[in-house]
Amino acid sequence: MKANVYMGPYKLEVKDKPKPKVERPTDVVLKITATCICGSDLHLYHGLIAPDLPGQTLGHENVGVVDEVGSAVQFVKKGDRVVVPFNISCGACQFCNSGLWSMCDNANPYNPKGPGAAFGYAKLLGGYDGGQAEYLRVPWADTMCLKIPDNVRDDQAVLLADIFPTGFFGCDIAGVKPGHVVVVGGCGPVGLMAQMSALLRGAARVYATDRVPARLELAKKIGAVPINVDKEDPVKRILSDTDGWGADACVEAVGYEATGKGVMAPGPKVEAKPLVVLETLMKVAKKGAVIGMPGLFAPTPADPEGRVSFPLGAAFTKELGFRMGQCNVKNYNRYLMQAIADKRVDPSIVITHREPLEKAPQLYEQFDKREGGIVKVLLKP
Ligand SMILES: NC(=O)c1ccc[n+]([C@@H]2O[C@H](COP(=O)([O-])OP(=O)(O)OC[C@H]3O[C@@H](n4cnc5c(N)ncnc54)[C@H](O)[C@@H]3O)[C@@H](O)[C@H]2O)c1
Ligand SMILES: [Zn+2]
Ligand SMILES: [Zn+2]
């Protein structure tokens, strides 16, 4: 089968690989019908995560039709159209049982007491191949597979594998409530989904920052107030709009590759400003507010503990809260599926490119450069 394989920093190849099989009785194999490229894939693409990644098939946002079913799978049938969360979880351990699916204790054989597992992240997150391929092996299928109703399309359901739940999670951990003024740092797919989620949760006003015009345009379409950080100081604007009080809740949806310009990846484009968005949010947050941080802050090969210099005193003075981590997709995907099925929201507004899998390397490059109005890419094997 064809698969999009990571070969090294900035190097991908669509290659032939053996078709995955049922390895354990609780597995299914999906024939992939839609798979997306994520901002998280860019950290991998830049060579910042997982030194053993070469050879791995990427792709953790997957929808497919069940093609092969293990003998112990009870509730998923051949032919079911399903979406699977990016986090791989057993459904039975103490962490799964408390809704911390991303911390599953059984899914990562290489680091049992560490973080859980995900598709396409090499041994760091369990060593599972991803779904930017024709087929994908899904472990613990009864826990993982969420069936897609007939009135929800693949290009909507695929966003429930990660970014819509992740945006919603950002709002959830930030405590977004009806009537709140919310600031979302970043208008990438996750930021846009956080803005949509904040409005779904009843926020009165949602500010959205970025510097890419096409992305700010989408934020506006979603109903947020866009602020181009290269043209306007978001701190001045938001404090002035709120009588100096600031926002009730904030979501950091950019992560450690936040920039003035360029990226912090190896290569010539280095201008790392990992905390620039977080520090902006700390300035616009109302006293006592919580900043939800779905944006990724991971250790890097250069900095194995992920240390950053952080204005802790400023946070203490305002009694700010910070919550972060992987989204526990299974806590949200079923409900957001219902919201899509009932036509309350349509997250597919963020998909700007629908292309064959073969074009993955070129689309990664384009997505990385944020060229040609690209926001979210759906690949069709
Ligand atoms: N926690 C989770 O479970 C989870 C899940 C998915 C993605 N993520 C992470 O969320 C982050 C965003 O993902 P994405 O798919 O939207 O990525 P993306 O790279 O497409 O979007 C990032 C956006 O941030 C903007 N940005 C950069 N610097 C900025 C600044 N100084 N001010 C305002 N905006 C700025 C960029 O222009 C871009 O639009 C990534 O770090 C990704 O790894 C986390
Ligand atoms: Zn993703
Ligand atoms: Zn578990």
Q: What kind of fold does domain 166-324 have according to CATH?
A: Rossmann fold (3.40.50)
Domain with CATH 3.40.50.720 in the chain: 166-324
Domain with CATH 3.90.180.10 in the chain: 2-162+328-380
Q: Write the Ramachandran bin of 266: left for phi over 0, alpha for psi from -120 to 50, otherwise beta.
A: beta
Distance 101 CA to ligand 3 centre (A): 6
pLDDT digit string, tens, across residues 27-75: 999 999 999 999 999 999 998 888 889 999 999 999 999 999 999 999 9
User: How does DSSP classify residue 95?
Assistant: H
Measured from the CA of 367, which atom of ligand 1 is nearest?
A: 20
Please compute Rg for the chain using Cα positions.
20
Residue nearest to atom 25 of ligand 1 (CA): 186
pLDDT digit string, tens, across residues 138-186: 999 999 999 999 999 999 999 999 999 999 999 999 999 999 999 999 9
Question: What kind of architecture, by CATH, is found in domain 2-162+328-380?
Answer: Alpha-Beta Complex (3.90)
What are the tokens at 215? Answer: 């992305």
Q: What residues flank ion ligand 2 with Cβ within 5 A? A: 38, 40, 61, 162
Is the distance from the beta carbon of residue 215 to the nearest atom of ligand 1 less than 6 Å?
Answer: yes
Is the distance from the beta carbon of residue 253 to the nearest atom of ligand 1 less than 6 Å?
Answer: yes
Q: Which of 190, 237, 371 to mutate to test the pocket of ligand 1 (most atoms within 8 A of CB)?
A: 190
Q: Count of CB atoms within 10 A of residue 299's CB?
A: 14
CB 163 within 8 A of CB 100: no
Q: What is the pLDDT averaged over residues 75-87?
A: 98
Is the distance from the beta carbon of residue 38 to the nearest atom of ligand 1 less than 6 Å?
Answer: yes
3-state secondary structure at position 248: strand
Nearest to 176 by CA among 195, 192, 189, 161: 195
Distance 348 CA to ligand 2 centre (A): 15
CB 249 within 8 A of CB 290: yes
